Amino acid sequence: MNIRKKVALCGIPGMKKEDIVKMEKYVREEYPEVDFLFLSEEVLEKEELIEKCQGVEVLISWDQEMDEETYEKLNLRAYCAASIGYNAANIEAATKNNVIVTNVPDYCLDEVATHTIMLMLACYRKLYSMVPYVKSGNWDLDVLGSIKRFEDSIVGLLGFGSIARAVAKKLRGFEVKIISYDPFVNKEEMEKLNVTKVQLNTLFKESDYLSLHTPLLDDTKEIINKDSLRKMKPTTYLINTARGGLINHEDLYQALTNNHIQGAGLDVLKNEPPKTIDKKLIALPNTIITGHSAYLSEEASDLQLKITAETVGRILNSTEPINVRNPQVLNRIDWIK
């Protein structure tokens, strides 16, 4: 019989109540003797988190911010991010305290790739102008101006991970030229999908549609800023289904209002829910904002929960988990069988 162990869930704003129930169910299927503590949908203050998570071995979250003091005062085995992103886990602090950080990298690959292309096509056909124009009772093409054929476009991918590759595969039938910048992927790997590897400046200068597919790291934070936006064509569309923090929102607002680029299709924002600058972007006539929904489908949501629960189960059963983001910790812990 398994020893009772504690798992806590918090900092998952927007998770449906039925999914919270499912998460507990799936974790119990992996480890029946678990004490499953649902603390809050919202992110907790540090003091409250430390107080409520005494004895907890696994924390499940996607937004709960961690620091060294928090890890030092808890006795966690793992921070399991129930999402692709795991910035809130503070991997440096977790690693220093021998806490494993995991995530769920590919559960919504098809959904995000499809959503990315949807935003490109919506920008291409200027739906941000046409839809409200028709709803206002108009039936002419005056609002559209000129539109260039998509088939002759250059699509730039900033980053060439699994989602960017899925985008490249789905774009094959559109006969567009695809270029990408990713310092960790060689040109031969890109060429397998008919993608040309280019330098970062070339990506900014040549892309008609620039789509962001890189994690949010110190060297990618606000990589889209005043300088990079000035390098883009005035007809460029910026697409972001990755992380809001990749873009300096003030600089993007200025670029969109001054016609330095043509428009933007964004699924993620710097602040969620939106704050002042985000609301200003939403209100612009040349943006399409889709409320961080790119990942969503019934199948993806269920897979997200199941993979997270499987990971938690392996940790509670003292088995090496999947999707470890700081594998150097594995050699320093003694609880893995």
Examine the residue annotation and report whether 249 is marked as an active-site residue of this protein: no
Q: Is 101 left (phi over 0), alpha (psi -120 to 50) or beta?
A: beta
Hey, what are 43's tokens?
């992110």
Of 165, 213, 243, 249, which residue is the catalytic one? 243
Of 28, 222, 250, 292, which residue is the catalytic one? 292
Of 65, 189, 250, 272, which residue is the catalytic one? 272
Hey, what are 146's tokens?
């000129």
CA distances for 319 relative to 90, 187, 311, angstroms: 23, 37, 9
Q: Which of 71, 72, 68, 66 is nearest to 86 (CA)?
A: 66
Reported in sequence order, the residue ranges of 152-257 that DSSP labels E, i.e. its strands, are 154-158, 177-181, 195-197, 209-212, 237-240
Q: How far apart are CA 271 and CA 212, in angstroms?
A: 17
Hey, what are 245's tokens?
């923090």
Examine the residue annotation and report whether 213 is marked as an active-site residue of this protein: no
Reported in sequence order, the residue ranges of 82-222 that DSSP labels E, i.e. its strands, are 100-102, 154-158, 177-181, 195-197, 209-212
Q: How far apart are CA 50 and CA 48, in angstroms?
A: 5
Give the residue numbers annotated as catalytic, written as ranges: 243, 272, 292
